[in-house]
Structure 1
Amino acid sequence: MDARVGFIVGLCLMGLTCASPVKFVDCGSSSGKVAMVDINPCSTQPCQLHKGDSYTVNVTFNSGVESQTSTAVVHGIIAGVPIPFPIPEPDGCKSGIQCPIQKEKTYNYATELPVKSEYPPIKLVVEWELKDDSKNDLFCIRFPVQIV
Protein backbone atom coordinates (compact mmCIF):
# COMPACT_ATOMS: atom_id res chain seq x y z
CA MET A 1 0.00 0.00 0.00
CA ASP A 2 2.83 2.46 0.81
CA ALA A 3 4.37 1.96 -2.65
CA ARG A 4 1.09 2.92 -4.32
CA VAL A 5 0.72 6.03 -2.18
CA GLY A 6 4.31 7.02 -2.97
CA PHE A 7 3.68 6.51 -6.68
CA ILE A 8 0.55 8.69 -6.61
CA VAL A 9 2.33 11.44 -4.66
CA GLY A 10 5.18 11.29 -7.18
CA LEU A 11 2.79 11.67 -10.10
CA CYS A 12 1.14 14.64 -8.42
CA LEU A 13 4.50 16.32 -7.88
CA MET A 14 5.47 15.76 -11.52
CA GLY A 15 2.19 17.37 -12.56
CA LEU A 16 2.96 20.42 -10.46
CA THR A 17 6.33 20.88 -12.13
CA CYS A 18 4.69 20.99 -15.57
CA ALA A 19 2.04 23.54 -14.65
CA SER A 20 2.75 26.99 -13.35
CA PRO A 21 0.40 29.89 -12.76
CA VAL A 22 -0.28 31.77 -15.98
CA LYS A 23 -0.28 35.54 -16.08
CA PHE A 24 -3.77 36.60 -17.08
CA VAL A 25 -5.88 39.73 -17.37
CA ASP A 26 -9.44 39.85 -16.11
CA CYS A 27 -11.60 40.99 -19.03
CA GLY A 28 -14.89 41.56 -17.26
CA SER A 29 -15.66 38.87 -14.69
CA SER A 30 -19.00 40.29 -13.59
CA SER A 31 -20.30 37.34 -11.54
CA GLY A 32 -17.11 35.97 -10.03
CA LYS A 33 -13.44 36.55 -9.21
CA VAL A 34 -10.54 34.52 -10.61
CA ALA A 35 -7.89 33.44 -8.11
CA MET A 36 -5.55 31.44 -10.36
CA VAL A 37 -5.08 30.14 -13.90
CA ASP A 38 -2.71 27.37 -14.94
CA ILE A 39 -2.13 25.42 -18.12
CA ASN A 40 -0.62 21.96 -18.03
CA PRO A 41 1.94 21.47 -19.44
CA CYS A 42 3.23 25.01 -19.68
CA SER A 43 6.72 25.79 -18.50
CA THR A 44 7.20 29.20 -20.19
CA GLN A 45 5.17 32.33 -20.71
CA PRO A 46 3.59 32.92 -23.05
CA CYS A 47 2.66 29.24 -23.07
CA GLN A 48 3.93 27.47 -26.15
CA LEU A 49 1.15 25.26 -27.45
CA HIS A 50 2.40 22.57 -29.80
CA LYS A 51 0.22 21.68 -32.77
CA GLY A 52 -1.35 18.25 -32.38
CA ASP A 53 -1.11 18.31 -28.57
CA SER A 54 -3.78 18.86 -25.94
CA TYR A 55 -3.46 20.98 -22.81
CA THR A 56 -5.39 21.18 -19.55
CA VAL A 57 -6.66 24.63 -18.59
CA ASN A 58 -7.46 25.09 -14.88
CA VAL A 59 -9.19 28.18 -13.52
CA THR A 60 -9.87 28.62 -9.81
CA PHE A 61 -12.58 31.18 -9.20
CA ASN A 62 -15.04 32.36 -6.57
CA SER A 63 -18.66 32.72 -7.71
CA GLY A 64 -20.58 35.84 -6.80
CA VAL A 65 -23.92 34.39 -7.94
CA GLU A 66 -25.97 31.23 -7.96
CA SER A 67 -26.35 29.47 -11.31
CA GLN A 68 -27.79 26.16 -12.45
CA THR A 69 -25.48 26.03 -15.48
CA SER A 70 -22.13 27.25 -16.76
CA THR A 71 -21.05 27.48 -20.38
CA ALA A 72 -17.55 28.15 -21.71
CA VAL A 73 -16.99 30.46 -24.68
CA VAL A 74 -13.43 30.66 -26.04
CA HIS A 75 -11.95 33.02 -28.63
CA GLY A 76 -8.50 33.53 -30.09
CA ILE A 77 -7.85 37.24 -30.52
CA ILE A 78 -5.73 37.86 -33.60
CA ALA A 79 -4.97 41.47 -34.62
CA GLY A 80 -7.80 42.61 -32.35
CA VAL A 81 -10.37 40.30 -33.97
CA PRO A 82 -11.99 37.57 -31.81
CA ILE A 83 -12.08 34.24 -33.68
CA PRO A 84 -14.29 31.50 -32.13
CA PHE A 85 -12.20 28.65 -30.75
CA PRO A 86 -14.30 25.53 -30.20
CA ILE A 87 -13.47 23.31 -27.25
CA PRO A 88 -14.58 19.69 -26.82
CA GLU A 89 -16.70 20.29 -23.70
CA PRO A 90 -18.27 23.75 -23.30
CA ASP A 91 -20.43 22.62 -20.35
CA GLY A 92 -18.65 23.82 -17.20
CA CYS A 93 -20.78 21.46 -15.12
CA LYS A 94 -18.96 18.60 -16.86
CA SER A 95 -15.57 20.25 -16.40
CA GLY A 96 -14.88 19.96 -12.69
CA ILE A 97 -17.65 22.25 -11.43
CA GLN A 98 -20.34 20.71 -9.29
CA CYS A 99 -23.59 22.38 -10.34
CA PRO A 100 -25.68 24.13 -9.25
CA ILE A 101 -23.12 26.84 -8.57
CA GLN A 102 -23.51 28.50 -5.20
CA LYS A 103 -22.79 32.11 -4.29
CA GLU A 104 -19.53 32.80 -2.41
CA LYS A 105 -18.10 29.35 -3.09
CA THR A 106 -14.77 28.55 -4.76
CA TYR A 107 -14.67 26.31 -7.84
CA ASN A 108 -11.97 24.71 -9.93
CA TYR A 109 -12.87 24.64 -13.61
CA ALA A 110 -10.68 22.23 -15.61
CA THR A 111 -10.99 21.34 -19.28
CA GLU A 112 -8.98 20.25 -22.30
CA LEU A 113 -7.63 22.65 -24.91
CA PRO A 114 -6.74 20.75 -28.08
CA VAL A 115 -4.38 22.46 -30.53
CA LYS A 116 -5.15 21.19 -34.01
CA SER A 117 -2.32 20.35 -36.39
CA GLU A 118 -3.76 22.64 -39.04
CA TYR A 119 -3.51 25.76 -36.85
CA PRO A 120 -0.87 28.19 -38.12
CA PRO A 121 2.14 29.03 -35.96
CA ILE A 122 1.15 32.35 -34.41
CA LYS A 123 1.17 34.44 -31.25
CA LEU A 124 -2.29 35.34 -30.01
CA VAL A 125 -4.36 36.12 -26.95
CA VAL A 126 -6.89 33.58 -25.72
CA GLU A 127 -10.10 34.96 -24.24
CA TRP A 128 -11.88 32.40 -22.04
CA GLU A 129 -15.32 33.11 -20.60
CA LEU A 130 -17.48 30.96 -18.37
CA LYS A 131 -21.07 32.19 -18.46
CA ASP A 132 -23.83 31.72 -15.88
CA ASP A 133 -27.58 31.19 -16.42
CA SER A 134 -28.04 34.87 -17.28
CA LYS A 135 -25.16 34.81 -19.81
CA ASN A 136 -23.06 36.99 -17.48
CA ASP A 137 -19.40 36.10 -17.03
CA LEU A 138 -18.63 33.98 -13.99
CA PHE A 139 -15.16 34.73 -15.25
CA CYS A 140 -13.55 36.29 -18.29
CA ILE A 141 -9.79 36.00 -18.64
CA ARG A 142 -7.23 36.74 -21.33
CA PHE A 143 -3.79 35.20 -21.57
CA PRO A 144 -1.13 35.14 -24.29
CA VAL A 145 -0.09 31.93 -26.05
CA GLN A 146 2.11 30.95 -28.95
CA ILE A 147 1.19 28.10 -31.27
CA VAL A 148 4.31 26.31 -32.45
Structure 2
Amino acid sequence: MGIILKECISVFLSIIFLLAVCLGTNITDCGSNGELNYINYTGCRNISEEACHIERGSNGTFTVEFTPVEQVYALTVKAVGILGGMELPLYIDNPDACLENGITCPVPANANQTYSTDLHIRSSLPKLSAQIRWKMQDQADNDVICVQFPVELC
Protein backbone atom coordinates (compact mmCIF):
# COMPACT_ATOMS: atom_id res chain seq x y z
CA MET A 1 0.00 0.00 0.00
CA GLY A 2 1.41 3.41 -0.93
CA ILE A 3 2.62 5.88 1.69
CA ILE A 4 0.00 8.47 0.75
CA LEU A 5 -2.82 5.91 1.02
CA LYS A 6 -1.52 4.74 4.41
CA GLU A 7 -1.43 8.35 5.63
CA CYS A 8 -4.97 9.01 4.35
CA ILE A 9 -6.30 5.88 6.06
CA SER A 10 -4.48 6.78 9.29
CA VAL A 11 -5.93 10.31 9.30
CA PHE A 12 -9.40 8.94 8.54
CA LEU A 13 -9.24 6.34 11.31
CA SER A 14 -7.87 8.95 13.70
CA ILE A 15 -11.01 10.97 13.20
CA ILE A 16 -13.38 8.06 13.76
CA PHE A 17 -11.58 5.95 16.35
CA LEU A 18 -13.20 7.56 19.37
CA LEU A 19 -16.59 7.55 17.73
CA ALA A 20 -17.05 3.85 17.55
CA VAL A 21 -17.85 2.71 21.04
CA CYS A 22 -21.39 2.47 22.32
CA LEU A 23 -23.18 0.20 24.76
CA GLY A 24 -24.20 -3.04 23.08
CA THR A 25 -21.27 -3.05 20.68
CA ASN A 26 -18.82 -5.93 20.79
CA ILE A 27 -16.14 -4.46 23.08
CA THR A 28 -13.25 -6.65 24.18
CA ASP A 29 -10.65 -5.95 26.85
CA CYS A 30 -7.10 -6.13 25.47
CA GLY A 31 -5.15 -6.09 28.73
CA SER A 32 -6.55 -3.39 31.01
CA ASN A 33 -4.79 -2.93 34.33
CA GLY A 34 -7.70 -0.83 35.63
CA GLU A 35 -11.45 -1.37 35.67
CA LEU A 36 -13.62 -0.20 32.77
CA ASN A 37 -16.94 0.97 34.23
CA TYR A 38 -18.69 2.52 31.23
CA ILE A 39 -17.97 3.44 27.62
CA ASN A 40 -20.25 5.29 25.20
CA TYR A 41 -20.40 7.35 22.03
CA THR A 42 -23.54 9.45 21.64
CA GLY A 43 -23.29 9.48 17.85
CA CYS A 44 -23.69 5.71 17.53
CA ARG A 45 -26.78 4.49 15.64
CA ASN A 46 -28.13 1.02 14.87
CA ILE A 47 -26.41 -0.51 17.87
CA SER A 48 -25.67 -4.15 17.09
CA GLU A 49 -23.38 -6.91 18.21
CA GLU A 50 -21.21 -6.43 15.10
CA ALA A 51 -20.29 -2.75 15.13
CA CYS A 52 -21.25 0.77 16.06
CA HIS A 53 -22.61 2.52 12.95
CA ILE A 54 -21.69 6.19 12.73
CA GLU A 55 -23.13 8.68 10.27
CA ARG A 56 -20.69 10.82 8.33
CA GLY A 57 -21.29 14.51 9.05
CA SER A 58 -22.43 13.80 12.61
CA ASN A 59 -21.29 15.08 16.02
CA GLY A 60 -21.04 13.14 19.24
CA THR A 61 -19.34 12.75 22.59
CA PHE A 62 -17.05 9.85 23.51
CA THR A 63 -17.05 9.01 27.22
CA VAL A 64 -15.06 6.44 29.19
CA GLU A 65 -15.56 5.90 32.92
CA PHE A 66 -12.84 3.85 34.58
CA THR A 67 -11.09 3.15 37.87
CA PRO A 68 -7.29 2.78 38.06
CA VAL A 69 -6.11 0.16 40.56
CA GLU A 70 -2.89 2.08 41.30
CA GLN A 71 -2.10 5.78 41.61
CA VAL A 72 -1.53 7.29 38.16
CA TYR A 73 0.63 10.38 37.61
CA ALA A 74 0.03 10.77 33.86
CA LEU A 75 -2.42 9.31 31.32
CA THR A 76 -1.78 9.19 27.59
CA VAL A 77 -4.36 8.14 24.99
CA LYS A 78 -3.06 5.92 22.17
CA ALA A 79 -4.92 4.10 19.42
CA VAL A 80 -4.41 1.98 16.33
CA GLY A 81 -6.79 1.17 13.52
CA ILE A 82 -6.74 -2.41 12.29
CA LEU A 83 -7.69 -2.58 8.64
CA GLY A 84 -7.06 -5.62 6.46
CA GLY A 85 -4.79 -7.08 9.14
CA MET A 86 -2.57 -3.99 9.20
CA GLU A 87 -2.18 -1.87 12.34
CA LEU A 88 -2.07 1.84 11.61
CA PRO A 89 -1.21 4.29 14.40
CA LEU A 90 -3.94 6.88 14.80
CA TYR A 91 -3.41 10.60 15.27
CA ILE A 92 -4.97 11.94 18.47
CA ASP A 93 -5.54 15.70 18.80
CA ASN A 94 -4.92 15.75 22.54
CA PRO A 95 -3.22 12.55 23.74
CA ASP A 96 -2.78 13.94 27.28
CA ALA A 97 -5.91 12.65 29.06
CA CYS A 98 -5.12 14.89 32.04
CA LEU A 99 -5.48 18.00 29.91
CA GLU A 100 -8.98 19.32 29.05
CA ASN A 101 -10.67 15.90 29.08
CA GLY A 102 -12.17 15.81 32.57
CA ILE A 103 -9.29 14.11 34.41
CA THR A 104 -6.91 15.77 36.86
CA CYS A 105 -3.59 14.00 37.43
CA PRO A 106 -2.32 12.54 39.62
CA VAL A 107 -5.26 10.14 39.97
CA PRO A 108 -5.45 8.21 43.24
CA ALA A 109 -5.88 4.43 43.18
CA ASN A 110 -9.50 3.25 43.13
CA ALA A 111 -10.84 6.73 42.28
CA ASN A 112 -13.52 6.69 39.55
CA GLN A 113 -12.59 8.88 36.57
CA THR A 114 -14.46 10.14 33.53
CA TYR A 115 -12.67 10.90 30.25
CA SER A 116 -14.77 12.79 27.70
CA THR A 117 -14.16 14.40 24.32
CA ASP A 118 -16.40 15.90 21.62
CA LEU A 119 -15.91 14.82 18.02
CA HIS A 120 -17.16 15.77 14.56
CA ILE A 121 -17.19 13.23 11.74
CA ARG A 122 -16.66 14.97 8.42
CA SER A 123 -19.20 14.11 5.72
CA SER A 124 -16.38 13.95 3.14
CA LEU A 125 -14.89 10.81 4.75
CA PRO A 126 -15.32 7.48 2.92
CA LYS A 127 -17.34 4.54 4.21
CA LEU A 128 -15.14 2.15 6.20
CA SER A 129 -15.27 -0.87 8.53
CA ALA A 130 -12.35 -1.50 10.89
CA GLN A 131 -11.30 -2.57 14.37
CA ILE A 132 -9.99 0.07 16.76
CA ARG A 133 -7.67 -0.66 19.69
CA TRP A 134 -7.90 2.27 22.15
CA LYS A 135 -5.60 2.58 25.18
CA MET A 136 -5.08 4.91 28.08
CA GLN A 137 -1.55 4.37 29.40
CA ASP A 138 0.08 5.53 32.63
CA GLN A 139 3.48 7.18 33.09
CA ALA A 140 5.25 3.80 32.70
CA ASP A 141 3.30 2.89 29.50
CA ASN A 142 1.15 0.35 31.37
CA ASP A 143 -2.36 -0.06 29.96
CA VAL A 144 -4.74 1.39 32.55
CA ILE A 145 -7.53 0.80 30.00
CA CYS A 146 -7.26 -1.13 26.73
CA VAL A 147 -10.33 -1.93 24.62
CA GLN A 148 -10.87 -3.13 21.07
CA PHE A 149 -14.09 -2.62 19.15
CA PRO A 150 -15.51 -2.68 15.61
CA VAL A 151 -16.60 0.48 13.80
CA GLU A 152 -18.50 1.19 10.63
CA LEU A 153 -18.62 4.65 9.16
CA CYS A 154 -21.82 4.99 7.09
Relative to the length of structure 2, the TM-score reads 0.74
The sequence identity of aligned pairs, in percent, is: 29
- Structure 2: 5+ residue stretches without partners: 1-20
CA contact (8 A) 1:22 1:37 kept: no
1:127 paired with 2:133, answer: yes
Q: Which aligned runs of 4 or more in structure 1 are off by greater than 4 angstroms?
A: none
CA contact (8 A) 1:22 1:39 kept: no
Measured on the aligned residues, the alpha-carbon RMSD in Å equals 2.0
1:71 — aligned with what? 76
Give a deviation string over 1:32-74, Cα, whole Å, max 9, x none: 1111110012132322223343432111111011121111002
CA shift, 1:78, in A, is 0.8
Choose between structure 1 and 2: higher strand proportion.
1
CA shift, 1:22, in A, is 4.4
Tell me the number of residue pairs that the alignment of Structure 1 and Structure 2 aligns: 129
Relative to the length of structure 1, the TM-score reads 0.76
Question: Which of these residues, 6, 25, 29, is aligned with residue 26 of structure 1?
Answer: 29
Q: d(CA) in 2 for partners of 1:131 and 1:73?
A: 8
CA shift, 1:25, in A, is 0.7
- Name the CA shift for 1:114/1:126 in 2 (closer, same or farther; >3 Å): farther
Q: d(CA) in 2 for partners of 1:59 and 1:22?
A: 15
- Structure 1: 5+ residue stretches without partners: 1-18
Question: Which of these residues, 108, 112, 121, is aligned with residue 106 of structure 1?
Answer: 112
